[in-house]
Amino acid sequence: MRNTKKQWKKLKKLILNRSNRMEVQKIATREGYGKALVELGKINPKVVVVDADLGDSTKAEHFGKEFPERFFTMGIAEQDMIGAAAGLSVSGKIPYASTFAVFSERAYEFTRNIISRNKLNVKIAGSHAGITTGEDGKSAQAIVDIAVYRALPNMVVLQPCDYIEAEKMVFALADYNGPSYMRLHRTALPLIHDNNYKFEIGKGEILREGKDAVIFASGTMVHESLNAAEILKNEKIIVYIVNIPTIKPIDANLIIELAKKTNCVITAEDHNVIGGLGSAVAEVLGENYPCIMKRIGVYDKYAESGKPDELYKKYGLDSQSIAEEVMKVVSKKK
């Protein structure tokens, strides 16, 4: 049937709208952080933001443009950023301190001795985490930040898997009185959640039911694991996919429950396998329910410079590599 001009314009508009919706559905978690700070700032005058000269990249600058009197940029000086955030905290403010994840480690001593030791209400956000920082190379790829912050007493450690979860975390942290670290990514990711999603600190989330094994994943690796589940389904292997947005305190009850159901546990993270999500899960299982387990992550080495998808493939973090590892582990169980 031949389209009239009117019909063609209508069809073109429909296609364009669909395309735009698809584009909107893929967005970085750092964008959720920036947007949520602005919304939070509108309803809570105690919220302030401290940044280490990276507001454009961390998206904290959105807050600065909306509330310039509550936004403090400290230059390239993460120690000053943490010190200022601590001072604002004891003055009754709720400071969010943001920089690149790898640069936040420069202020470790300040974070330990001022923030962690005194249980100050400071929310640290580390953007551009993991090897998805890609072309920036190993000097900018944070692969030990979870280990660093997880080992600090009193510290909550979070990592959202999509834009909406990042937003929810920002708001949840405003209600939580204590120090925290939120790990964010530059990579644009598809949305998993909608606005009705309820995030709760310390709780995991079953995204896909299974029986043969369970994959506990966090951040970008939730998406790779969901894709891996589709590959595994074709091999008649049905796996649980569990989003772990809170790495500390971790949802031990859920981990133990699903380990008992499957006797086969896999962890997936864009982080060194030492000290991160895999270590946290192994600690829970080692003391409560030892079972077959495989940690997937960066195997104690620095990555090179390259496109994120190429790096994921090279270092075994892509969905195909995850599926292959799961098949090996499940075969051992059998």
> Among all residues, which ones are annotated catalytic?
78
Instruction: Identify the sign of the CA torsion 269, 272, 277, 278.
Output: positive
**Cβ neighbours of 78 (radius 10 Å):** 24
Q: Which amino acid is at 48?
A: V
CB 158, CB 101: distance < 8 Å: no
Pick left, alpha or beta for residue 111 (phi over 0 → left; psi -120 to 50 → alpha; otherwise beta). alpha
User: Six-digit token pair at 297?
Assistant: 């992550």
Q: Which amino acid is at 69?
A: E
Q: Where are the alpha helices (DSSP H) in the chain?
A: 5-24, 29-43, 55-58, 61-66, 78-90, 101-104, 108-110, 145-150, 163-175, 220-234, 252-262, 277-288, 308-314, 319-333
CA separation for the pair 285, 294 (Å, rounded): 12
CA separation for the pair 178, 196 (Å, rounded): 26
